[in-house]
A and B are shown apart, each in its own frame.
Chain A
Amino acid sequence: MTFTMNNQANVNSASAEASIVRRKLHPLVDLQCDRTWFEELQSRMAKNGPWDDWTLYQLSMEAEQAKRIDSFEQLQCLRTLPSFEPMPHQIDTARKVVHEMGGRAILADEVGLGKTIEAGLVIKEYMVRGLVRRALILVPASLVLQWVRELNSKFGISAVAQKKEHTWQYDVVVASIDTAKRDPHRDIILNQDYDMIIIDEAHKLKNKKTTNYQFALQLRKKYCLLLTATPIQNDLDELYNLITLLKPGQLGGQSEFAANFVVDKRMPKNEDQLQDALSTVMIRNRRGDGGISFTKRVVKNIPLELSPEEKALYDAVTAFVRDRYIEDGVDMMSMLPLVTLQREVCSSRDAVFITLVNLFKKTAEDSPIRPKIWELVEFIKQIKANTKAEKVMELIQQINDKVIIFTEYRASQEYLLQFFRSHNILAVPYRGGMNRGKKDWMMDLFRGRAQVLIATEAGGEGINLQFCSNMINFDLPWNPMRVEQRIGRVHRLGQKEDVKIYNLCTLGTIEEHIVNLLHEKINLFELVIGELDHILERFESNAGSIEQQLARLLLESGGDTANLEEKLNHLGSTITKLREETDSPETPQGPTILAQMTALGQKVEVRP
Chain B
Amino acid sequence: MNSKQVHKYVQRFLEATQCSIIEKSPAHFTVKLSPAADRELTNRPFYWSFVDRTGSEPETMTYLLVTDKEKYEESLASPAPAPAQATNAVDAALNRSFGFVNNNLANAVRTPREDLYFGSRKLEQLFGAAKSSGSYVNLFQEPERRSSTPFQSTPYTAWLGVNMRVEFACDRKREEIHSYGVSLATGLVVENFYDRLKNLRLTPRLPSNVHVTRNGLSFTKALGIVETSLERKLKNYDYTWAVDAAARLEEELERIRNYYDPMIKHAEEESKTAIEEQFNQRQTEIKWQYEPRVTASAINCGIFHLEGIE
Contact = CB atoms under 8 A, between A and B. Distances in A.
Interface string A213-227: 000011011110000
A130 B174 contact: no
A54 B167 contact: no
Contact of B246 (A28, A33, A61, A247): A28
Contact of B172 (A72, A80, A218): A72
Contacts of A99: 172
A434 interface: no
Centre residue among A23, A30, A65 by max chain B CB count within 10 A: A23
A65 B223 CA distance: 23
A51 B137 contact: yes
Nearest to A194: B285
A62 B16 CA distance: 15
B16 A52 contact: no
B235 A25 contact: yes
Contact of A60 (B169, B173, B299): B299
Interface in A364-395: none
A82 to B, nearest CB: 5
Given A220-B281, A249-B258, A59 B134 contact: yes
A460 interface: no
A55 B16 contact: yes
Contacts of A80: 118-120
A28 B292 contact: yes
A495 B97 CA distance: 46
Contact of A52 (B39, B135, B174, B246): B135
A85 interface: no
A266 B144 CA distance: 83
Centre residue among A69, A77, A221 by max chain B CB count within 10 A: A69
B133 A25 contact: no
A69 B174 contact: yes
B131 A53 contact: no
A552 B285 CA distance: 54
A192 interface: no
Interface in A486-528: none
A54 B175 CA distance: 24
A41 B136 contact: yes
B255 A66 contact: no
B133 A37 contact: no
Contacts of B15: 55
A52 B118 contact: no
A590 interface: no
A598 to B, nearest CB: 25
Contact of A54 (B139, B252, B278): B139
Contacts of B173: 69, 72, 129-131
B243 interface: yes
Contact of A102 (B135, B227, B248): B248
B176 A68 contact: yes
Contacts of B290: 102
Nearest to B234: A25
Centre residue among A1, A4, A32, A42 by max chain B CB count within 10 A: A4
B50 interface: no
A151 to B, nearest CB: 12
Interface string B181-205: 0000000000000100010001110
Contacts of A29: 239, 242, 292-294
Contacts of B9: 59, 62-63
A156 B121 CA distance: 6
Contacts of A70: 174-176
A247 B284 CA distance: 13
B282 to A, nearest CB: 6
B174 A71 contact: yes
Contacts of B12: 55, 59
A34 B162 CA distance: 12
Nearest to B132: A6
A53 B134 contact: yes
B6 to A, nearest CB: 9
Contacts of B284: 220
A278 interface: no
Contacts of B301: 37-38, 41
Interface string B222-253: 01000100110011010101110010100010
A407 B28 CA distance: 50
Nearest to B236: A25
A64 B299 contact: yes
A57 B134 contact: yes
A130 B166 CA distance: 13
Interface in A335-350: none
B92 interface: no
A38 B9 CA distance: 28
Nearest to B262: A253
Nearest to A130: B173
B259 interface: yes
Contacts of A252: 258-259
Given A26-B239, A34-B298, A60 B202 contact: no
B297 interface: yes
Contacts of B278: 217-218
Q: Which 9 pairs show the lowest CB-CB distances between chains A and B?
A: A80-B119, A249-B259, A56-B134, A37-B298, A60-B134, A63-B127, A55-B16, A59-B130, A34-B297
Given A60-B300, A69-B175, 11 more contacts: A3-B45, A33-B297, A40-B136, A49-B138, A53-B16, A53-B133, A59-B12, A61-B134, A66-B1, A129-B173, A220-B281
15 contacts: A6-B128, A26-B235, A29-B242, A33-B297, A34-B298, A38-B219, A38-B298, A45-B219, A54-B204, A58-B198, A64-B299, A67-B127, A218-B281, A247-B256, A248-B255
